[in-house]
């Protein structure tokens, strides 16, 4: 969430940034500023009345000591009137503060200066590609057929148990999935990330803290009886570990990694491009989260990008890195890099990781600050997938199919304890 003072002091920059995102409701900026002015007016009037009440209360004490009961009673009557008026002002203030918060929740983050203007994925910048890519030729089959051929994943069994989008992993499919998770976690820990094991459900405050609410409320699974949400990513509980926390400067940077199941309704997702593992309602992912001092956050983002590139190189998969344009950047992010791997059988790119710097947008919602030189300021938060499992699995199966079976990359074979699926 952007701070209202930032909107007021940098209005032209804010409007330019929102236009870069193709954000249409620019009037929200003026609405926020005007609502904050009203909030300050009410606050000033309330403070004045409370000050007057305190002043009169002291006068009443003196008048009573002096035996001037009649004057004291008149002052008490004034105090009662002020108290009644102050209650009404407090009620107005509460309503105005909520209205301001509701407006601020609707305004997305401002893109970083390197982010291009654009409206869709077609406008994203390809800043790195590991290999030239091509299809496998005649006879190559997609991962959902490979999964059935080698008894690795049963999609129909998942439909019977839960519905479409909830696959069941079997035998070497399950073992390969587990090997990938362990490899990802170990790589992250080697890079200085502390592993945490968070809850897989969060409360409403946590959803608002990282920006999933209200922006993606319809895409989250909601448990009505308990007023909880199933997490769409470990980013939500891990980042919320630091909600309402005042850190010391020496505590930064903070680097966490977590493995979790992820749950997404994916409402409106249909068609061949979501077949098999391409888009699921439940999937496994390893996440990395960082809290940084503002001056270090973009260097940290580039470090995260290099880390993900190293992982994909170890997986021996052709991949590319995209810097998202304004219109394709997520609501809370200031800048995002997407990583896509080449699916040789489907002959298409599959997104497997997204690495973002949110600057102070999440921290302002979370009220996560650090002390420096006797003052407190908001941290910058960053997160990334390292990695999401389904499309990695799809690409590994498709790209490594041979006449003898599916070859497992060396780094993963060390964890899986097999190097061929046949």
Residue 119 annotated as binding site:
no
Q: What is the DSSP string of 351-380?
A: EEEEEEEEETHHHHHHT-EEEETTEEEEPE
Question: Of 86, 158, 382, which is closest to residue 253 (Cα–Cα)?
Answer: 382
- Tokens 């009404």 map to which residue? 88
Distance CA 324, CA 18 (A): 15
Residue 91 annotated as binding site:
no
Residue 404 annotated as binding site:
no
Residue 233 annotated as binding site:
yes
Residue 265 annotated as binding site:
yes
CA distances (Å), origin 8, targets 3, 110, 270 = 9, 14, 42
Tokens (6 digits) for 86: 């102050």
Residue 275 annotated as binding site:
no
Residue 287 annotated as binding site:
yes
Q: What is the DSSP string of 266-316?
A: -TT--SGGGTTTTS-SEEEEEEEEEEE-GGGHHHHHHHHHHHHHHHHHHTT
Tell me the Ramachandran region of residue 165: left when phi exceeds 0, alpha when psi lies from -120 to 50, beta otherwise.
left
Question: Of 246, 252, 236, which is closest to residue 300 (Cα–Cα)?
Answer: 252
Residues contributing to the annotated binding site for ATP: 264-266, 351-354
Q: Per the annotation, where are the binding residues?
A: 233, 264-266, 287, 351-354, 383
Extract the annotated binding site for L-serine.
233, 264, 287, 383
């Amino acid at each position: 969430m952007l701070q209202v003072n930032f909107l007021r002091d940098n209005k032209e920059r804010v409007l330019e940034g929102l236009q870069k995102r193709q954000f249409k409701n620019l009037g929200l900026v003026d609405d926020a500023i005007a609502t904050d002015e009203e909030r300050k007016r009410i606050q000033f009037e309330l403070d004045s009345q409370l000050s007057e009440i305190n002043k009169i209360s002291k006068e009443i004490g003196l008048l009573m000591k002096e035996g001037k009961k009649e004057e004291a009673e008149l002052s008490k009557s004034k105090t009662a009137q002020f108290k009644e008026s102050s209650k009404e002002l407090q009620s107005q203030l509460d309503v105005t503060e909520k209205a301001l918060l509701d407006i601020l929740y609707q305004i997305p983050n401002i893109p970083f200066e390197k982010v291009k203007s654009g409206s869709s994925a077609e406008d994203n910048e390809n800043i790195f590609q590991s290999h030239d890519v091509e299809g496998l030729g005649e006879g190559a089959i997609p991962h959902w057929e490979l999964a059935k051929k080698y008894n690795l994943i049963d999609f129909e069994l998942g439909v019977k148990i839960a519905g479409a989008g909830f696959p069941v992993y079997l035998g070497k499919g399950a073992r390969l999935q587990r090997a990938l998770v362990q490899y990802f976690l170990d790589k992250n820990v080697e890079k200085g990330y502390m592993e945490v094991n968070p809850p897989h459900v969060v409360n409403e405050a946590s959803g608002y803290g990282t920006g999933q609410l209200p922006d993606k409320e319809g895409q989250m699974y909601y448990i009505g009886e308990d007023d909880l949400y199933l997490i769409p990513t470990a980013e939500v509980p891990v980042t919320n570990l630091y909600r309402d926390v005042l850190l010391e400067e020496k505590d930064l940077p903070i680097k966490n990694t977590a493995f979790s199941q992820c749950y997404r309704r994916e409402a409106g997702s249909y068609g061949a491009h979501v077949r098999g593992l391409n888009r699921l309602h439940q999937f496994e992912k390893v996440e990395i989260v960082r809290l940084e001092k503002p001056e270090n956050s973009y260097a940290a983002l580039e470090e995260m990008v290099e880390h993900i590139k190293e992982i994909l190189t170890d997986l021996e998969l052709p991949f590319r890195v995209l810097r998202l344009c304004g219109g394709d950047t997520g609501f809370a992010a200031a800048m995002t890099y997407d990583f896509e791997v080449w699916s040789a059988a489907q002959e298409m790119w599959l997104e497997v990781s997204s690495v973002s710097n949110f600057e102070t947008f999440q921290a302002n919602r979370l009220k996560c600050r650090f002390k420096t030189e006797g003052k407190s300021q908001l941290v910058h938060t960053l997160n990334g997938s390292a990695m999401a499992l389904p499309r990695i699995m799809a690409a590994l199966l498709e790209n490594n199919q041979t006449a003898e079976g599916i070859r497992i990359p060396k780094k993963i074979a060390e964890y899986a304890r097999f190097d061929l699926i046949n």
